[in-house]
Homo-oligomer: A and B are copies of this chain.
Amino acid sequence: MRLSKRGEYGLRAMIMLAGSARENEPLPVVQIKEISQREQISSKFLEQILLTLKNAGLLHSKMGVGGGYYLARPASEITLGQIFRVLDGPVAPIKCVSQMAYEPCGCPDEQTCGLRLVMGDVRNAIVDILDHTSLEDVAKRREAVRQSLGLASL
């Protein structure tokens, strides 16, 4: 039940971009190099990941001097589920319960397959979290933890 490095790095990068947004300021444009340094990710690998996210419409970019990446939409409108699916594919643990990529599994009778019933629950539980957690939610939550630990805001 593992999140891939692609998924991990992509989510971390998006969370970082959302976290460096300041109120009443334009969305910050951040370079690959800076993200890769702050998050300790191979910049060449990250490059691919950000490009994928861009082609999926979750990031925008600016080329050339002073360029970089920035969120395609406000952080409140991008969910972790969207990011996850772009990088790691369907959320469902088994294809026969996938909404996005249904395929029958080999069980004799799908309607009464016990495994399918339970894995459907698992899928729903994961989707509930990932699709209802926006980048803004993550940023707020992290901020709350920081506060409770008595740390400064950055």
Query: What residues make up the interface of A, taking CB atoms closer than 8 Å to B?
Result: 1-3, 8, 11-12, 15, 19, 38-41, 80, 84, 88, 90-94, 105-108, 111-115, 117-119, 121-122, 125-126, 128-130, 133, 138-139, 141-142, 145-146, 149, 151
**Contact between chains at A149 and B111 (CB < 8 Å):** yes
Interface SS, A side: helix
Q: Is the CB of B117 within 8 A of A142?
A: yes
Is the Cβ of A117 less than 8 Å from the Cβ of B138? yes
Cβ-defined partner of A114 (8 Å) among B3, B19, B130: B19
CB–CB B149/A39 < 8 A: no
- Measured between C-beta atoms, what is the minimum distance from A125 to chain B in Å? 4
**How many copies are assembled?**
2
CB distance from A121 to the nearest CB of B (A): 5
Is B141 within 8 A of A117, CB to CB?
yes
- Across-interface contacts of A139 in B (CB, < 8 A): 114
Residues of B within 8 A of A130 (CB): 118, 122
CB neighbours (8 Å) of A2 from chain B are 1, 93-94
A112 contacts which of B3, B38, B90, B151 (Cβ < 8 Å)? Answer: B151
- Choose from B80, B91, B114 the contact partner of A1 (Cβ within 8 Å): B91
